[in-house]
Amino acid sequence: MHNLLLFLLLLLPSIAFSAPDTVQTLTVKPEQPLSPAKRIDQLMVNSTNKGLVSGGVILVGNRDRILFEKAYGRVSPLPDARPMTVDTLFDLASLTKVIATTPSILKLAEEGKLSLVDPVKKLLPEFEGKGKDELRVMNLLTHTSGFDDFSLVTEKALQSAVEGAAFQSLKGEIGNRFHYADINFILLGEIVRRVSGQPLNEFAAKKFYSPLGMADTGFLPSAAQKSRIASTMGDGGVQFTGDPQDYLSRQLGGVAGHAGLFSSAGDLAAFCRMMLFGGALGPVRVFEERTVNQMTAPYFSRGGKVSRGLGWDISSPYSSPRGGFFSRSSFGHTGYSGTSIWIDPDADLFVILLTTRLDFRKKSEFNQLRSELSTLAVEAFGKPVSLKELEDEL
C-alpha cells in the first residue's frame, strides 16, 4: 500500500503539467525600436536630465513645410522658470555671422556696392600702409585672413577693433590658413555700415527680415520681445536675458557682425527655406539665385582639409551639425550659446537647434547632441546619403 501511494504521488506532477487546459504561456513581445522622431525626443530629454541644457526648440523642415517642431524643458535652469515654447526667442551668438552679416555683405556685392575681392584697405582706410594689401573681403568671410581675436577697449570698442586688427601681426599667410576668429566678422559688420550708410541691424532688417516676415529677428530686442527670450549663461553663472551673452558684442553696443542677433525657430525656418529656394520665399526674392550659390560654394584651405563657404561652414572642426548623413552640398553654422542650423539642398532638409546651453565645458557632449540630432532628422524625414556617395566624397 505504501508503495502504491508513493507511485501515485510521483505520477501526479506529470499528469498536472501535461494537462492541456492547465497550460499558461507568457508571450514576450520583442522590444519595438523607437522611431527617429521619438529618438529625437529622447535625445533632448536626456540632454536636459544630464544638465547639458535646461531646454530648447528643435525644428526640422524642407522647402514646402515644417516637418517637426517641438519645445523641451524650460527657458532657464531656475526652478521657477517658465516652460519652453516653440516661439521662444534665443540669443543666436555666432549664427549672427550667417543670418545677418554674410547676407548683408553678399547683398552689397549683388548691388555692385562692393566686390568680394576688394582689398579691405579700400573699405577700411585704417588698413592702408599696414602691410595687409593682399587682405580681401573674401578672406574675412572665410576666416583665412590670418587674424586672431583680441581684447577691445570698452570706451572706444569699435575703433579699437578696427585699429587693433590693422596693426595686428597675422597668423600665417593670407588665404592659406583657416583660423576661426570673431574679429573677421566684426570688421565685416563695420564694412556694411560704411558702405551702406546704415548700421548692420537696420540694413539686415530692411533687406531680409522685413521682406521675409521674420518679425522676431533682430538686434537689440524690445521690452516685449525680452519677455519671450530664453536665458543664456555667462561666466560665473551670470544669466543674460535680452543682452548678448558674447562680451565683445556687449562692448560694441549689442550690434556687431559676429554675435548679438536674436531670433526664433520659426523665423530661422523662413530663412532656411529662402536659402533652399535659391534666394526667394514665395513671391519675395531677397537674393539672386547665383548669389546663394556663390555664398554656399566650397572654398578650401589648409590643404583641402577644411571647406568653408562665404560665411557658411561646410566641412571643418565646427561641422558637428552635419551629422552622419548630410551631403557635401550641405552647409550651416553653430552658435556658442547652444544654437545651430544645417541646410542640405540635396536632401531638401534643414535642421534648427536652439537651446539654453548650460555647461560649456562639455563641448564634445554638446557637439554630439548636434550631430545625433541631424542624423536622426535625416533618418526620420530625409534621404540619407548612400554609401557610394559617401565613398565618392573620400
Instruction: Specify the pLDDT at position 30.
Output: 52
Task: State the pLDDT at residue 12.
Answer: 42
Of 206, 243, 198, 274, which is closest to residue 93 (Cα–Cα)?
Answer: 243
In this prediction, residue 304 carries a pLDDT of: 74
Q: Reduced to 3 states, what is the DSSP secondary structure of residue 305?
A: coil
- Number of independent structural domains in the chain: 1
**Is residue 27 assigned to a domain?**
no
Rg of the chain over Cα atoms, rounded to whole angstroms, equals 27
Please report, in tens digits, the pLDDT of each residue of the chain (394 residues total).
Answer: 444 444 443 444 444 434 444 444 444 455 567 777 788 999 999 999 999 999 999 999 999 999 999 999 999 999 899 999 999 999 999 999 999 999 999 999 999 999 999 999 999 999 999 999 999 999 999 999 999 999 999 999 999 999 999 999 998 899 989 999 999 999 999 999 999 999 999 999 999 999 999 999 999 999 999 999 999 987 777 899 999 999 999 999 999 999 999 999 999 999 999 999 999 999 999 999 999 999 999 987 677 789 999 999 999 889 998 888 888 899 999 999 999 999 999 999 999 999 999 888 888 899 999 999 999 998 888 765 543 444 444 4
Q: Are 384 and 325 in contact (CB under 8 A)?
A: yes
Q: Establish if 75 belongs to a structural domain.
A: yes
Residue 249 pLDDT = 98
Contact 216, 266 (CB under 8 A): yes
State the Cα–Cα distance between residues 60 and 68, nearest whole angstrom. 5
- Give domain status of residue 345, yes or no: yes
Extract long-range pairs of 323-326: CB within 8 Å, 24+ residues apart.
Answer: 323/351, 323/370, 323/371, 323/372, 323/373, 323/374, 323/375, 323/377, 323/378, 324/371, 324/374, 324/375, 324/378, 325/374, 325/375, 325/378, 325/379, 325/382, 325/384, 325/385, 326/374, 326/378, 326/385
Q: How far is CA 22 from the centre of its chain?
A: 62
Amino acid at 118: D
Residue 212: give the domain boundaries: 36-393
Residue 378 lies in a domain: yes
Answer whether residue 40 is part of any domain.
Answer: yes
- From the number of C-beta atoms within 10 Å of its C-beta (0-12, 13-18, 19+), residue 20 rates as exposed
CATH code, 174: 3.40.710.10
Cell for 237?
553663472
Rounded-to-integer distance, Cα 327 and Cα 385, Å: 6
Q: Which three cell numbers stand for residue 14?
A: 506529470
First vs last C-alpha separation in the chain = 86
Going along 191-241, which residue ranges are E strands? 232-233, 239-240
Reading the block at residue 110, the C-alpha cell is 549683388
Q: Is residue 8 part of a domain?
A: no
* In-domain check, residue 308: yes
